[in-house]
A = this chain, B = another copy of it.
Amino acid sequence: MQPRTTSQLATPALLIDLDALNGNLRTMSLRHPGTKLRPHTKAHKCTNLANLQSQYGHKTFTCATPREIIGMAAAGVGQDYLLANEVVDPNRLSALAKVSQSARVTLAVDSETTVMAAARAGLRDVLIDVNVGLPRCGIAPALAGQLADFARTQKLNVHGVMGYEGHLMMIDGHEKRKQRVAESMQLLARAAQDVGGEIISAGGTGTFDLHDETCINELQAGSYALMDTHYAKLNLPFDQSCFVLGTVISKSTDWLVIDVGLKSLGMDHGNPSVQGFDVMFCSDEHTTLAPKKDSVNINVSVGDKLRVIPAHIDPTMSMHELAFLVRGDEVIDSWPIDLRGW
């Protein structure tokens, strides 16, 4: 039986505040309507959530893994998928080629090897992935045109370019961040000119409002829907809509322990946050909390439930099988996190 209130949930349990989620989706869709936004499914790995994004007008999606595309297509959500990542595995590329018979599947490529792997598997649509400053995937901007020419010799349709200015998401200060993004996107613009095609795709939640004057015509943002304490530092107009619910299982004089630990929280951005408490440390299945000195809300007993705010939403989502949709403490629905894995 579906629990009706959060107090009935077995913990750790992933909660999504439906009103906050809708608010975030609305805010973003007003700023980047329709195909101006290509929501990134890697941030939530949930076809139900992607379906809600499509109801806000977005029918094109960004994915990070073949399984995300295969799952989205199987669920019938969206009709145009960009795999914003390099893949050389022939079996996975063949599976994507199968999906491409009934939906648009575009693959990022950044080398002759990835171009040839795509062509051999029967994929037809690619973007040239361009390095715009983050030391990760992407070909040097000056070489992008040459790779596009090579891709065309392999009978691939080159639809344009993508880049990801991930190194600039957390630059302190809005104006400074905007300036650095503009410089980074000049690299992408140069590559776009050499490559040709109709798509110039880049960006993320941290730079969602910094592209008005750049060359891009679609934004790849994902974390805006659920948010985390890391992105919250930027004072974006998106509210925290995702929490991990925990139960107090132990209480001592100076601390208490909840059953949410580092197996249910992405930890690469450090400790999570809990309102009214300082996080002392996380273990596999536990987080030890000390009441904040100025906190009046310390009347917590064993069995009580507390909400934990993740420091990094993307890996947190991929640790859970299910998310519970809530309004306040009422449980409205549950969504499987069905795009996990690779």
Say yes or no: is A275 at the interface (Cβ < 8 Å to chain B): no
A339 to chain B, nearest CB (A): 11
Min CB distance, A228 to chain B, in Å?
12
Cross-chain contact B319 with A136 (CB below 8 angstroms): no
Give bound CA distance, A135 to B85, whole Å.
Answer: 42
Partner of A341, one of B89, B255, B280, B321: B321
Q: Which residues of B contact A268 (CB under 8 A)?
A: 262, 267, 282
Stretch at the interface among A30-38, A109-117, A207-215: A109-117
Interface hub of A64, A87, A166, A315 (most chain B Cβ within 10 A)? A315
Nearest CB of B to A274, in Å: 16
What B residues does A135 contact at CB under 8 A? 252, 254-255, 280-281, 288
Interface stretch among A71-79, A183-191, A243-251, A325-333? A243-251
Chain A interface secondary structure, helix, strand, loop or mixed?
Answer: loop
Closest residue of chain B to A13 (Cβ to Cβ) is B342
When the two chains form their complex, are residues B114 and A314 in contact, meaning their CB atoms are under 8 A apart?
A: no
Q: Chain A residues in contact with chain B, CB under 8 A?
A: 10-12, 42, 64-65, 85-89, 91-92, 110-111, 113-114, 117, 129, 131, 135-138, 140, 166, 247, 249-252, 254-255, 257, 259, 262-264, 266-268, 280-286, 288, 301-303, 312, 314-315, 318-319, 321, 341-342
